[in-house]
């Protein structure tokens, strides 16, 4: 399947997310399982029903969770003279980075076979939203863990009556300080332990290294393991388009004192969790289980990560039975018209039509769009067969020509003798 990537960009309609985003809730969730910090809550959008006929309604995401599907690079013609104006690049191709994800119902990311939507967004947007969310969750969890650890230490030195006076003791009921405290300490002391956070290198950046020939290198996020993972790789250009597979990123990681460091993927790997949800679209607030919270429905808070990714993505929903799909909303007219094109492009990426670096894969061989090409074993055999066949046919034609020429001369000789 061959698709024009220029048309794709038009179909995806990657635009900035709207600042004020009204949602219409259909369910109300109350749970004490989630732990979000104040910053996340302040950024979350409130779901509210709009009664005015002229008001716009938008898709209700409160019953869905995000599942990572695939990461894929795609090389395409830049469309601008000189490779987009970068005189240092010796190719007219540019590398586009995409992430495919799903909105799965009711946190069913292990199956997610029906009533889901499939989406494609540029990798930078995905990582910015996902890492921001995961960083906030990590900070909140570690703050809670540290508080509970200190409370447990204080309780061990105090009498039982003093321990019962703590009104916030319920927050630590489901916190296993024996494991979370050690993990949080490792994160806090990462650099002292010889590690650097891989999430800090997802944006393309020049490394503090220069070889004997004056060459510099760049680090940035890339797809790995057939698109099922995202890792940090080394590139030879400032756009992080030309991956250098001969180099290991950890050989170029050094701290301020010049000591070699390793990369920690503890945070980045959470953005491409396999077989589980990356994030629930509902912000779940902690509640004291011992208090009567009443039966009043509360406003549902939507996770900012879900909102941003949904607004920025190209959408393929109707073919998967997505109940809250864009087909029912007037403000997604452009994306509805281009949904089939988006679905086709997502299918082509998932079918393995591109390799890890974004080159098009054709019938088991690889066609390099950068000006050179490599041939498979079958192609080499066919080429050799046709060359030898052509040589054989040429020899056979020469032999026939020689025989015909000799036969014509002999006939002329006999005719000449008869006339004499």
Question: How confident is the model at residue 44, as a pLDDT?
Answer: 40
Mean pLDDT for 369-385 is 59
State the Cα torsion 344-346-348-351 to the nearest 10°. Answer: -130
For Cα atoms 54, 56, 59, give the angle at the middle one, nearest 5 degrees.
Answer: 150
Q: What is the mean pLDDT of the chain?
A: 76
Residue owning tokens 């024996």 = 178
| pLDDT category of residue 252 using cuts at 50, 70 and 90 | very high
**By C-alpha distance, which of 269, 281, 307 is closest to 34?**
281
Q: Which residues of 279-290 are buried (b: 16+ CB within 10 A; e: fewer)?
A: bbbbbbbeeeee
* Cα–Cα distance for residue pair 11/314, rounded to 1 Å: 7
Q: Report residue 124 as tokens.
A: 């930078």
Q: What is the pLDDT of residue 409?
A: 56
For residue 53, pLDDT over 80 is answered with no
Q: For the chain, report the end-to-end CA distance as a whole number of angstroms.
A: 76
To 10 degrees, what angle do helices 304-312 and 123-157 make? Answer: 170
What angle is formed at CA 221 by the lines to CA 92 and CA 82, rounded to 5 degrees?
15
CA–CA gap between residue 213 and residue 215 (Å, rounded): 6
pLDDT of residue 380: 67
H or E element that contains 217 = strand 216-224
13-17, 52-56, 194-198, 279-283: least confidently modelled range: 13-17
- pLDDT above 70 for 10: no
- What secondary structure does DSSP assign to 233-287, as a single string? EEESSTTS-SB-TT--GGGG-B-TTS-B-EEE-TTGGGGG-SSS-SEESBPPPP-
Rounded CA separation 278/118 (Å): 14
CA 99 to chain CA centroid, Å, is: 3
* Listed range (19-23, 42-46, 88-92, 283-287) with the worst mean pLDDT: 19-23
pLDDT for position 297:
64
């Amino acid at each position: 399947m061959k698709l024009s990537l220029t048309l794709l960009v038009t179909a995806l309609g990657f635009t900035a997310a709207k600042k004020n985003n009204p949602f219409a809730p259909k369910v109300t969730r109350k749970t004490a399982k989630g732990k979000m910090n104040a910053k996340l809550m302040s950024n979350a959008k409130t779901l509210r029903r709009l009664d005015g006929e002229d008001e716009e309604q938008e898709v209700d995401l409160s019953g869905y969770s995000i599942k990572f599907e695939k990461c894929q690079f795609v090389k395409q013609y830049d469309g601008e003279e000189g490779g987009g104006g970068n005189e240092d690049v010796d190719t007219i191709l540019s590398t586009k980075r995409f992430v495919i994800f799903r909105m799965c119902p009711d946190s069913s990311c292990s199956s997610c076979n029906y009533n889901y939507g499939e989406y494609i967004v540029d990798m930078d947007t995905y990582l910015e939203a996902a890492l921001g969310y995961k960083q906030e969750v990590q900070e909140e969890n570690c703050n809670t863990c540290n508080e509970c650890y200190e409370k447990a230490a204080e309780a061990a030195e105090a009498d039982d009556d003093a321990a019962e006076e703590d009104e916030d003791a319920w927050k630590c009921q489901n916190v296993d300080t024996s494991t979370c405290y050690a993990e949080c300490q490792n994160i806090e002391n990462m650099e002292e332990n010889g590690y650097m956070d891989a999430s800090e290198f997802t944006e393309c950046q020049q490394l503090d290294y220069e070889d004997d020939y004056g060459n510099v290198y760049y680090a940035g996020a890339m797809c790995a393991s057939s698109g099922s993972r995202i890792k940090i790789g080394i590139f030879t250009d400032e756009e992080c388009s030309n991956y250098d597979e001969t180099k290991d990123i950890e050989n170029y990681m050094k701290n301020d004192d010049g000591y070699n460091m390793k990369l920690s993927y503890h945070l980045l790997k959470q953005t491409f969790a396999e077989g589980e949800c990356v994030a629930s679209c509902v912000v779940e607030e902690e509640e004291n289980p011992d208090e009567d919270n009443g039966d009043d429905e509360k406003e549902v808070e939507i996770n900012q990560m879900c909102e941003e990714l949904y607004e920025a993505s190209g959408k393929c929903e109707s073919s998967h039975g997505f109940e809250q799909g864009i087909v029912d909303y007037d403000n997604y007219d452009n994306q509805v018209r281009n949904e089939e094109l988006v679905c086709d492009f997502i299918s082509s990426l998932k079918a393995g039509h591109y390799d890890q670096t974004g080159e098009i894969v054709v019938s088991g061989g690889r066609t390099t769009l950068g000006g050179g090409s490599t041939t498979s074993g079958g192609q080499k055999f066919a080429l050799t067969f046709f060359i030898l066949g052509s040589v054989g046919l040429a020899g056979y034609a020469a032999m026939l020509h020689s025989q015909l020429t000799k036969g014509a001369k002999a006939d002329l000789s006999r005719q000449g003798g008869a006339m004499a």
